[in-house]
Amino acid sequence: MGQVISFKPKLLEPVEEPKQEKKRRLKGQGSVYLRGNTYWIQYRSDGKVYNESAQTDKKMEAIGYLKKKVGEIALGHSRQENSTRQPLKTFKNSIGVTSKRKGNGIRKGLK
């Protein structure tokens, strides 16, 4: 009972918390980027790169829009272009405008 017990406190070393890596989308799933106050998405379809506005200022909504687009492509839906687009020549013919060259300029007239 006459023993003396010495207690040396152990110095605690700082504990490093595991670094949380940012979740990245897999290759081929597109990207989201901020342009001004609006998020834009970039994705590939049929070997072409497309950039589209997500029309939102919230990153999570833009990511949801990108996932929707990539999912449509995966299901085989092709990227739909604006169906009202037509060549200028077709447009001119539909409204009856003709162009005739005269000298250095173009003279426009109706049929």
Closest CA relative to residue 35, chosen from 15, 62, 53, 12: 53
Which pLDDT value is given to residue 13? 74
Encode the chain (111 residues) as per-residue pLDDT tens digits. 567 777 777 777 777 777 777 776 667 789 999 999 999 999 998 888 999 999 999 999 999 999 999 998 888 876 655 445 566 666 666 666 665 555 555 555 555
CB atoms within 10 A of CB 31: 13
Separation of alpha carbons 39 and 2, rounded Å = 76
Q: Taking the CA of residue 106 as centre, how many other CA atoms within 13 Å lie in the half-sphere pointing to its CB?
A: 6
User: With b meaning 16 or more CB within 10 Å and e meaning fewer, what string describes 33-68?
Assistant: eeeeeebbbebeeeeeeeeeebebeeeeebbebbee
Residue 44: DSSP 8-state: E
Residue whose pair of structure tokens reads 């300029």 in the numeric block: 105
Residue 70 CA: distances (Å) to CA of 26, 38, 47, 78: 12, 20, 14, 11
